[in-house]
Amino acid sequence: MSFRASLLVALPVLLATGCAPTVSDPVEVGFDGAGDVIEGEFSIQNHLTDRELDELGLIELAWNDNLGWGLYLAEDGVAASALDRALAQGRTVGIEPNRPRAALAVNDPYRSLQWDMTALDVEGAWTYGTGRGVTVAVIDTGLGKVGEDRPANVLTGKDWVDGDSDPTDQNGHGTHVSGTIAQKTNNGKGCIGVAPDVTLLPLRVLDADGSGDAYAIAEAITYAADQGAKVINLSLGSAYGTNVERDAIRYAQGKGVVIVAASGNESATSVGYPATYDGVIAVGATRYDGAVAAYSNGGSTLDVVAPGGDMGVDQNHDGYGDGILQEVVIGTQKGYDFYEGTSMASPHVAGVAALLVSAGARPQDVLGLLTSTAKDIGPTGFDNRAGYGLIQPVKALQKLRSGATPPATTTPTPTADTVAPTIADVWAQQSSTSLTIGWTTNEASTTYVAFEGYGTYGDASLVTEHEIRFTVQSNTTYNFTVVSKDAAGNEGRDGVYRSR
């Protein structure tokens, strides 16, 4: 679920396409110089004498008594294997080539625009790992193929829209969501992702318009679990649940899958589906200033919040609306764009869930680790707008490392909503063939229009601005009543109106 900034044009300047050992210690094996090495430099376990240095053609660059290792520079062409054999004749040691290291995410040019990653201190979280070994399924509009900053580890995936194995994104939403989870990082291009070393499983269930159906989503959830996914992200949904989705989620949870979903963008007082199903981590959205975004759905089943953005403000004064920046690919078009929505918040949490699982968290403990370490940003304790608060990845990983068992997360007893929506500004416009009726409500609600003698017609969207268009007979007067029903089932009605 997301509100979209003008696709592929919001960032025109950006478009384009991380005690010394004794002589009885064994020789280390397996360090044969494969991969990136610093030419000629070797770490050697044991302090060599000057005679040994001369015989082996080595220069001592550094020695550390606490480590019991030194750094040595060898003559050209000397390999670790040769030094290993030579040193082993006199004393057993450990030897390995010195390898380069770099700070992660220092050369992604648009990192400075990713206020969301700063708010979550993702670089700090990477000291515990970057998600390697965990498969994350993104059930969405697919994943673009031509992006320059595409996630590094991607499985083939599957497409329920076209019925094949090519989940190429034709909308952009899925690629953006996937980037937040696992955008290729420290590659000198674009942005970073929360868990850049996870393996992505792209599953396309939404078409170019972002539309799909519950049965396809249920099949994708089941498929992801069978393919070994440990985390599933669902940045999609509606106000109504289905048994088939619920059963698919139960199936996946039975296989140890952590499921994360967006709470919805209707400013509603209840969380949408599938986020509200039991055991699903329901995620609301925050702005740059840490406040809950106005559009973010809340309620008794909301768990946590994460950065989702607000394109209507520029609180960090970087010259752009405060959306979430990632690469966007639509077919063969590619670029970078800011989006906002709980769709953007959910993958932040999915990425952190992957970091926790990769670091050894049991699936059943992930929610507790997130909620027990979240930053309380609303009224003390749980509240319906922010849940348990803003996720704190580093604190959650620290708690996991400490071995502390997270407390069981209990769903609070919801406060009963007994107040009906208030209807205002009712209007009607009629032509010879159509009748359009509109009004506003003070809270998100569904829409019904009851025509005297003709029946009742409705729109099931939970919104505050309502408008429905009907086909009518010419020169006919219609009497109708407008009705709105909120998520708690309270129904508000306004009096009878006449169309002419």
Give pLDDT, residue 29. Answer: 29
Give pLDDT, residue 499. Answer: 78
Tell me the domain boundaries of the chain: 3-13+104-402, 19-101, 423-498
Enter the tokens of residue 450: 């009851």
Digit-by-digit pLDDT tens for the chain (500 residues) are 443 332 222 232 222 222 222 222 322 323 344 456 677 788 888 788 888 888 888 888 888 887 788 888 887 666 666 677 667 665 556 788 887 664 443 589 999 999 999 999 999 999 899 999 999 999 999 999 999 999 999 999 999 999 999 999 999 999 999 999 999 998 999 999 999 999 999 999 999 999 999 999 999 999 999 999 999 999 999 888 988 999 999 999 999 999 999 999 999 999 999 999 999 999 999 999 999 999 999 999 999 999 999 999 999 999 999 999 999 999 999 999 999 999 999 999 999 999 999 999 999 999 999 999 999 998 899 999 999 999 999 999 999 988 866 655 554 544 567 788 899 888 888 888 888 888 889 888 888 788 787 777 777 677 888 888 878 788 888 888 888 888 777 888 888 888 76
Helices 243-254 and 214-226 cross at an angle (nearest 10°) of 10
Assign 52 to helix, strand or coil: helix
Give pLDDT, residue 286. Answer: 97
CB-neighbour burial class of residue 467 (10 A; exposed 0-12, middle 13-18, buried 19+):
middle
Whether 140 is catalytic: yes
Give pLDDT, residue 474. Answer: 80
Partners of 465 in the β-ladder: 440
* Whole-number Å distance between alpha carbons of 329 and 151: 12
Buried b (16+ CB within 10 A) or exposed e, 128-138: bbbbeebbbbb
| Residues whose CB falls within 8 Å of the CB of residue 258, separated by 6 or more in sequence, listed in order | 230, 231, 232, 281, 353, 357, 363, 366, 367
| Residues whose CB falls within 8 Å of the CB of residue 414, separated by 6 or more in sequence, listed in order | 299, 300, 384
Active-site pick, 2, 159, 173, 303: 173
Name the DSSP class of 14: T
Pick among 3.30.420, 2.120.10, 3.30.70, 3.40.50: CATH of 19-101: 3.30.70
Assign 252 to helix, strand or coil: helix
479 sits in which H/E element: strand 479-485
The yes or no reply on domain 3-13+104-402 and CATH 3.40.50.200 is: yes
Contacts 24+ apart (CB under 8 A), 126-130: 126/18, 128/355, 128/359, 128/394, 128/397, 128/400, 128/401, 129/197, 129/355, 129/358, 129/359, 130/18, 130/104, 130/185, 130/195, 130/196, 130/197, 130/198, 130/355, 130/358
Partners of 390 in the β-ladder: 305, 375
Active-site pick, 84, 108, 116, 140: 140
Which amino acid, one-letter code, is at 62? Answer: A
Give the distance, in angstroms, between the CA of residue 203 and the centroid of all CA atoms in the same chain.
15
Name the DSSP class of 113: G
Whether 417 is catalytic: no
Give pLDDT, residue 25. Answer: 31
| Residues whose CB falls within 8 Å of the CB of residue 267, separated by 6 or more in sequence, listed in order | 294, 295, 296, 297, 443, 444, 464
Whether 112 is catalytic: no
Residue whose structure tokens are 């509009």? 141
Nearest 5°: the CA angle 148, 151, 154 is 120
Which amino acid, one-letter code, is at 143? Answer: L
Give pLDDT, residue 11. Answer: 30
Handedness of CA 34, 102, 390, 287 (dihedral sign): negative
Partners of 289 in the β-ladder: none
Q: Please state which architecture CATH assigns to domain 423-498.
A: Sandwich (2.60)
CB-neighbour burial class of residue 475 (10 A; exposed 0-12, middle 13-18, buried 19+):
exposed
Active-site pick, 2, 343, 358, 372: 343
Predicted TM-score of the model (pTM): 0.66
Give me Rg for the CA atoms of the chain: 28
